[in-house]
Amino acid sequence: MVALYLSSQIKTRITRFFNHLYFAHLFHIIFLALLSLTMALMTICKAEALETDLLEPRPPYLFMTVENAEDIQVKKRLTTVRSRLVNIDFSLLPDPEENFVAEPEGEMELILNVFSGLEFTALIQKIEKNRSGSYSWYGILKDVPFSQVVLVVNQGTVFGQISKPNFTYQIRHITNGIHAVYEVDPSKFPPDGEPIAPEIESKSSTITNPQKESDGTSEPAPPSLEDSLYQNPFPKSGIGYGQMGDAPLSGIATKPDTLTSSSNSSASDPGVQADDGTVIDVLVVYTAEAKAEEGGTSAIETLIDLAESETNAAYSNSGVDHVIRVVAKQEISFSESGFSFSEFLNSAQDGSISGLQALRDTNGADLVVVLVDGDDSLCGLGYLMTTVASSFAPFGYSVTQTNCATGNYSFGHEIGHNMAARHDRANDNTDGAPFDYNHGYVDSSNGFKTIMGTSSDTRISNFSNPNVLFGGAVTGVAEGDPLAADNRLTFQNTSLTVSNFRQAIDSPSNQAFASIVPFSNSNRVISPYWQSDSSSYSFIAVTHPSLTSMASQIGVIVRAIKNDGTLFGSAKSFTVDSSATNRIFIVRSSHPIINSTSLTDVELITGNSTFQHGFLHLNPVASNPNISVDGFRDITRLSYWGAIVVENNTTGFAMEFIGDTHDSAATPSMADSAAVSGVN
């Protein structure tokens, strides 16, 4: 019995031992599993945290998707590949004046998410305020060769053009802040019309007071002395000019009486100014149908700002010295019923459009552009100047379809015809009317054409110029070659005549003085004398000395004011980087070496070759230079030096600058009540 009892106890203990061992092992397994799971979760969390730390913040996209927009109709045009409705993040497009900054800090970046999975980085290089109050933003696409970005921002709307080889993208306002982004196939634009060369009697190229045209045959009034042409700055053109201008001074500069516009004017209108060819004034009118197609008055007038900006960007790309300036925009009462491009152009020219010619005279417009909805048969039609003469003034008209005005560059294309530019030689091989080189250029092997080209290749934002390259290929053919194509030289030889089809009413000098007045003496710099003529020019250097508290980039605006108080050339704005030096030349537009083709890293203020002189005015781009934005943008802290260079005998003399940190002639306090010496 004892043995049986002991055997039973041993069996029980052994069973309990193995039971404990089993549960211990099971617990161990469960514990290890839970530990592994916990470690895995910790690893995942750590990895997610690490990934969050490593990822850059989501970029600020310019375009935001529109929700619940089924009722909004997007326009479908021949050129449209696809479209998208968007809202604009206007926090990325600040008003420069509100931020005391009118130039970007280096290159501003905008992420253009044009379509799902397709985005570009725009590098904004320049911002300009337009006459209408809108702002034009200019730039390129990062890592996209031969691209261009032009955005016009106007009171909560954006009209823009994003151009790259083979495809372009348009931004248009639709309604109530909603915009559309269009992908456009440039090959689908309607053709360009063959320009009409009017039969007019050849007259000497004299600049006269504007004559209101009735039928294009009236003789211009005899020119007064002040309206006579300048000495010929373009000897290759074969056009003879008279001579006028101030006699050179003998060591003493005549200063303007005040910093206000003076009276180089006609007796009847003190606002009328003689023009020097640097600005072509353009009147743009539009039909009710064109206005409706673009979405209303504000929309079409912002489109006009875009066309103006795009055309001037093309001039800059091509080394062209002049710019266009839209002096007025207005709707006309003339129906497009039974539309025909040729009939509409004739109606604009012959006075059939009520009030149009009077509107041209009132605004001093050298040329007139009529925007139409059109019929898609052509992109535009204009008159072609075949003789460089004031007698062509009555034919300074063109008609352009709105959907071609930008993107296809038809706005600037038709203006080009008015200024004697012809199509490419495959389309028009005419020579001698008025030049042998006034053609557009086509390079089919590289797949592009310039603005006056008419092939099926992609149109680029350039006028023909043999000295400008596009992707390593020339964009023109030099004068003297049987295939010569140089619209840059064409415009150089016609801009003076065209700019005086009507003398400017609201002259660039008046605009310049409006900008000068708000700046106190303590914020501006003056040089009492500069000069330019057929054998001399002025050179200025501006250096950023990197002083403590200075902004790393400072924007400067330079104006060369003539001794009669008007503006020579146009104002130039630029940014001076820390420790860098910027160079400015005040020079005749026909200079063989100092020009935008030969020198690409300088600022050029150009005008005609007669003797011109006056004083130099420099003011800050920033409207509040005494408010620090990463440093003060005070131009008086920059260093200035310059010289008048006489080319005939390689002599000259130094220029004086008053108001900078080295000024010895200015009053100690530089108070507003104390005039800067030399210019009061």
Average pLDDT estimate for 178-204:
87
Residue 73's pLDDT is: 80
pLDDT in tens, 126-175: 888 888 888 999 999 999 988 999 999 998 899 999 998 878 999 999 98
Look at residue 235 and tell me whether its pLDDT is greater than 90. Answer: no
| Greater model confidence, 204 or 299 | 299
Element (H, E) at 492: helix 487-499
Q: Please report which confidence band the pLDDT of residue 201 belongs to, taking 50, 70 and 90 as the band edges.
A: low
Tokens 């909805």 map to which residue?
A: 373
Residue with tokens 């009132």: 362
Q: Is it the case that residue 35 has pLDDT exceeding 90?
A: no
- Which residue is listed with tokens 């109606």? 347
- 268-499 belongs to CATH 3.40.50.1820: no
pLDDT digits (tens, 9 = 90+) for 395-428: 999 999 999 999 999 999 999 999 999 999 999 9
The pairing of beta strand 323-331 with beta strand 367-372: unpaired
The pLDDT of 4-13, averaged and rounded, is 53
Say which residue, 16 or 213, is predicted with more confidence. 16
Distances (CA, A) of 525 to 252, 519, 648, 661: 21, 10, 30, 10
Judge whether residue 93 has pLDDT over 60. yes
Burial 638-662 (b: 16+ CB within 10 A, else e): bbbbbebbeeeeeebeebbbbbbee
SS3 of 256-316 = CCCCCCCCCCCCCCCCCECCCCCEEEEEEEECHHHHHHHCCHHHHHHHHHHHHHHHHHHHH
**pLDDT tens sequence across 537-558:** 999 999 999 888 888 888 888 9
Q: Predicted confidence band at 250 (pLDDT cuts at 50, 70, 90)? A: very low
Phi-psi region of 213 (alpha: psi -120 to 50; beta: other; left: phi over 0): beta
Residues 6+ apart with CB under 8 A from 622: 100, 101, 102, 554, 555, 629, 633
Length of the chain equals 680
- Nearest one of 173, 414, 178 to 297, comparing CA atoms: 173
Are 84 and 72 contacting, i.e. CB atoms less than 8 angstroms apart? no
Residue 275's pLDDT band (cuts 50, 70, 90): confident
Rounded distance, CA 326 to CA 317, Å? 20
Identity (one letter) of the amino acid at 293? E
Q: Which positions are annotated as active-site residues? A: 414
Q: Taking all residues of the chain, what is their mean pLDDT, rounded to a whole number? A: 78
| 460: exposed, middle or buried (Cβ count in 10 Å: 0-12, 13-18, 19+) | buried
Percent of the chain scoring above 70 in pLDDT: 72
Confidence of residue 569 (pLDDT cuts 50, 70, 90): confident
Do residues 622 and 100 make contact, with C-beta atoms less than 8 angstroms apart?
Answer: yes
**What's the CA gap between 473 and 42, in Å, rounded?**
59
Across the range 469-491, mean pLDDT stands at 95
CA distance 238 to 501: 20
Q: Which of the four pLDDT bands, split at 50, 70 and 90, describes residue 102?
A: very low
pLDDT at 471: 86
Between 218 and 477, the higher pLDDT residue: 477
pLDDT band, very low/low/confident/very high, at 26 (cuts 50, 70, 90): low
